[in-house]
Amino acid sequence: MKVKFSNLGNLKSGEIDLKPLAIYIGPNNTGKTYSAYCLYGILDPSVAPFYAEHTNLNLFDESINELTERGYAEINLEEIIKNHAELILNDLCSIFAV
């Protein structure tokens, strides 16, 4: 699976070919941590179900359909955040305020 990044922290653009083992090597402040956190948030099976159980937003339904139909999906997190920032923030606050 290949994951492409653009405008993620210090990363202007990049691509990671995910294999069973991926090792990040590079100088400080080059985007390794940003990309690792992003991958974790997208791929960790516990994150999406947790959020889905606590929110009414179905932000990734279209992406899931794309993935099923085409075998890949493009997720523009910047666009999602721009379009749904207030709803996301309110949902997250209600989740963690408990």
The pLDDT tens digits of the residues spanning 45-60 come to: 665 555 556 555 566 6
Q: Are residues 40 and 50 in the same domain?
A: no
Beta partners for residue 17, in sequence order: 2
Statement to judge: residues 16 and 56 lie in one domain: no
Q: Enter the pTM of the model.
A: 0.50
Cα separation of 59 and 42, whole Å?
13
Give yes or no: residues 36 and 75 share one domain. no
Q: Which residues form the domain of 50?
A: 45-98
Are 34 and 81 contained in the same domain? no
Q: Are 72 and 15 in contact (CB under 8 A)?
A: no
Most confident residue range from 27-31, 59-63, 83-87: 27-31
CA 31 to chain centre: 15
Does 39 share its domain with 52? no
